[in-house]
């Protein structure tokens, strides 16, 4: 779709510069080498796609801080390319028909750095010793060329070579680890479809160990000094996993890993199959168990079921926030209703100028989205009753597993669990600015 003088309409008005038309990525294979001391990244990305319309010009998202050295399309070196303003523009030697295979190989290098956004800096970030990647919503292009939009899901193979002194984590299963001299190559395979912003690499002076032997394998990747504090702060994760599996349905991935960096982080960060916490979240006093529950819940709501447009962010954050309340009432804390009453009281004192279903990019991560999204679910639970409400959640996570989701799909599914029309209810909670009574 184009407008004006051949300029393509944005895929998502919340992030008009992100996302690309004309193809669908099915797989990324990233071969990376990273020097920790100098923050130098050398990469080769092999991107397998299928075209959706006949064309010879394609674009990828790639930060300007990285320099492209070579582009090959379908094995042809007669590929023209231009890299500017965060876009890699590739022109193939011949027009490719709709439904055709397009394999792009991009070689690049540079010093990766976060991408500035209205929500802060996102993407690749240097630590005191190592690096982390936290890309929500548009930071993936800080470290590899991609179609950086959440509706673009693909499988990944991530190979990262770095100094042997460091432990390295990426999404999926570790399929090989090879050490040569002072360098170690780690290869991870992420088979379940993943949005680019959920792809991650974590490098640091870490050790990895198993911290749960239930139905879902749980792992901790932490500095040795935080080991005992971790065992207190995250000690109830196995029980938490059991509660969420019972109420939300089967865990959507093979395993779950928590990384704790040696540095402090303002907030925990999510990736597919992985959550990243700062050393400050490891106090040995279980001070942040609410956030432990929140990040775990994102594996269902955000990572397996991923929004197709950023205006639907409450489908991630409202559900993860409500999961905090569900864990509280299932672990001896205040009930979800008590927490909902308190949250409703707090929200009633705040400005009533936010539309949950379309908050606008500036308010996309406003805390009111989290709390009012959770209140919407609690009100729906009250309307449906516990049995139907949790049956709805389990059907939602099963039927939409590993796919892109919309608010309409959720409200349509919810309508099957009641004889009453839900339109007025949905409008009151999601479309009206004024907070409805609980």
Gap between the Cα atoms of 436 and 438, Å rounded: 6
Residues 178 and 260 in one domain: no
Gap between the Cα atoms of 178 and 287, Å rounded: 38
Domain total for the chain? 3
| Burial zone of 111 (CB within 10 Å; 0-12 exposed, 13-18 middle, 19+ buried) | middle
pLDDT of 88 higher than 90: yes
What percentage of the chain reaches a pLDDT higher than 90?
96
Residues 254 and 330 in one domain: no
Q: What is the pLDDT of residue 4?
A: 40
Residues 161 and 234 in one domain: no
CB 162 within 8 A of CB 34: yes
Residues 83 and 166 in one domain: yes
Q: What is the pLDDT of residues 13-62, one digit of tens each?
A: 999 999 999 999 999 999 999 999 999 999 999 999 999 999 999 999 99
pLDDT of 345 higher than 90: yes
Residues 140 and 215 in one domain: no
Gap between the Cα atoms of 415 and 425, Å rounded: 11
Residues forming beta bridges with residue 30, ordered by sequence position: 45, 158
Gap between the Cα atoms of 194 and 152, Å rounded: 8
Residue 197 lies inside a defined structural domain of this protein: no
CB-hemisphere CA count at 13 Å for 89?
5
Residues with Cβ within 8 Å of 116's Cβ and at least 6 positions away in sequence, in order, are none
Residue 125 lies inside a defined structural domain of this protein: no
pLDDT of 3 higher than 90: no
Q: What is the pLDDT of residues 348-374, one digit of tens each?
A: 999 999 999 999 999 999 999 999 999
Residues 188 and 217 in one domain: no
Helix (H, G, I), strand (E, B) or coil at 387: helix
Residue 49 lies inside a defined structural domain of this protein: yes
Q: What is the pLDDT of residues 266-304, one digit of tens each?
A: 999 999 999 999 999 999 999 999 999 999 999 999 999
Q: 6 falls in which pLDDT band (50, 70, 90)?
A: very low
Residue 126 lies inside a defined structural domain of this protein: no
- Neighbouring C-beta atoms of residue 164, cutoff 10 Å: 14
Residue 418 lies inside a defined structural domain of this protein: yes
Residue 7 lies inside a defined structural domain of this protein: yes
What DSSP designation does 21 have? Answer: S
Q: 77 falls in which pLDDT band (50, 70, 90)?
A: confident
Helices (H), 213-357: 227-233, 237-248, 289-297, 314-329, 336-348
Gap between the Cα atoms of 310 and 237, Å rounded: 29
* Mean pLDDT score across all residues of the chain: 96
Q: What is the pLDDT of residue 326?
A: 98
Domain boundary among 192, 218, 236: 192
pTM score over 0.95: yes
Q: What is the pLDDT of residues 212-263, one digit of tens each?
A: 878 899 999 999 999 999 999 999 999 999 999 999 999 999 999 999 999 9
Closest to 70 (Cα-Cα) out of 59, 62, 61, 79: 79
Q: What is the mean pLDDT of residues 78-97?
A: 96
Gap between the Cα atoms of 230 and 222, Å rounded: 8
What CATH number corresponds to the domain at position 173? Answer: 2.60.40.1730
What CATH number corresponds to the domain at position 257? Answer: 1.10.390.10
| Burial zone of 141 (CB within 10 Å; 0-12 exposed, 13-18 middle, 19+ buried) | buried
Q: 7 falls in which pLDDT band (50, 70, 90)?
A: low
Residue 349 lies inside a defined structural domain of this protein: yes
Residues 149 and 44 in one domain: yes
Domain boundary among 299, 334, 353: 299
Query: What is the residue range of 345's domain?
Result: 307-431
Q: What is the pLDDT of residues 319-339, one digit of tens each?
A: 999 999 999 999 999 999 999
Residue 258 lies inside a defined structural domain of this protein: yes
Q: What is the pLDDT of residue 138?
A: 96
Separation in Å, CA 275 to CA 170, 211, 299, 306, 426: 11, 14, 9, 16, 31
Residues 91 and 161 in one domain: yes
Q: How is residue 79 written in tokens?
A: 């590929």
Rounded (5°) CA angle 270-276-278? 135
CB 344 within 8 A of CB 332: no
Q: What is the pLDDT of residue 215?
A: 87
Residues with Cβ within 8 Å of 357's Cβ and at least 6 positions away in sequence, in order, are 311, 312, 314, 407, 430, 431
Residues 104 and 158 in one domain: yes
pLDDT of 95 higher than 50: yes
Sheet of 120-127, strand order: 115-117, 120-127, 130-134, 201-204, 167-170
Residues 381 and 279 in one domain: no
Separation in Å, CA 126 to CA 130, 140, 148, 202, 304: 6, 15, 21, 10, 28
CB 230 within 8 A of CB 256: no
CB 404 within 8 A of CB 306: yes
Q: What is the mean pLDDT of residues 93-115?
A: 97
Residues with Cβ within 8 Å of 434's Cβ and at least 6 positions away in sequence, in order, are 352
Gap between the Cα atoms of 340 and 334, Å rounded: 10
Q: 8 falls in which pLDDT band (50, 70, 90)?
A: confident
Residues 58 and 171 in one domain: yes
Residues 27 and 102 in one domain: yes
């Amino acid at each position: 779709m184009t407008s004006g003088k051949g300029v393509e309409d944005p895929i998502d008005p919340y992030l008009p510069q992100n996302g690309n038309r004309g193809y669908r990525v099915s797989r990324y294979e990233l071969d990376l080498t990273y020097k920790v001391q100098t923050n130098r990244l050398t990469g080769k990305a092999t991107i397998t796609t299928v075209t959706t319309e006949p064309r010879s010009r394609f674009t990828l998202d790639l930060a300007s801080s990285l320099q492209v050295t070579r582009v090959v399309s379908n094995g042809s070196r007669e590929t023209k390319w231009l890299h500017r303003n965060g876009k890699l523009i590739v022109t193939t030697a011949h027009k490719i028909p709709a439904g055709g295979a397009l394999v792009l190989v991009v070689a690049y290098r540079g010093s990766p750095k976060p991408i500035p956004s209205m929500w802060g800096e996102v993407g690749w970030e240097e630590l005191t010793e190592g690096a982390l990647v936290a890309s929500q919503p548009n930071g993936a292009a800080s470290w590899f060329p991609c179609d950086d939009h959440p509706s673009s899901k693909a499988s990944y193979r991530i190979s990262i070579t770095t100094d042997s002194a460091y432990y390295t984590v990426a999404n999926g299963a570790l399929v090989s680890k090879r050490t040569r001299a002072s360098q170690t190559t780690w290869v991870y395979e992420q088979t379940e479809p993943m949005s680019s912003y959920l792809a991650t690499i974590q490098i640091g002076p870490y050790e990895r160990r198993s911290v749960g032997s239930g139905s879902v394998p749980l792992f901790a990747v932490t500095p040795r000094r935080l080991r005992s504090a971790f065992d207190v702060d995250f000690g109830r994760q196995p029980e938490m996993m059991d509660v969420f599996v019972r109420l939300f349905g089967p865990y959507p991935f093979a395993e779950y890993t928590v990384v704790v960096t040696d540095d402090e982080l303002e907030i925990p960060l999510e990736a597919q199959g992985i959550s990243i916490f700062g050393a400050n979240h490891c106090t040995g006093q279980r001070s942040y168990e609410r956030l432990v529950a929140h990040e775990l819940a994102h594996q269902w709501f955000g990572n397996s079921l991923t929004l197709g447009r950023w205006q639907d962010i409450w489908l991630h954050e409202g559900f993860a926030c409500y999961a905090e309340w569900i864990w509280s009432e299932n672990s001896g804390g205040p009930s979800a209703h008590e927490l909902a009453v308190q949250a409703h009281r707090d929200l009633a004192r705040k400005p009533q100028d936010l539309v949950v279903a379309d908050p606008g990019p500036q308010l996309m991560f406003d805390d009111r989205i989290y709390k009012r999204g959770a209140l919407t679910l609690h009100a729906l639970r009250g309307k449906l009753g516990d049995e139907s409400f949790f049956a709805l959640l389990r059907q939602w996570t099963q039927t939409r597993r590993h796919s892109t989701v919309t608010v309409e799909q959720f409200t349509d599914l919810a309508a099957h669990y009641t004889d009453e029309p839900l339109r007025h209810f949905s409008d009151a909670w999601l479309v009206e600015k004024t907070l409805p009574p609980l």
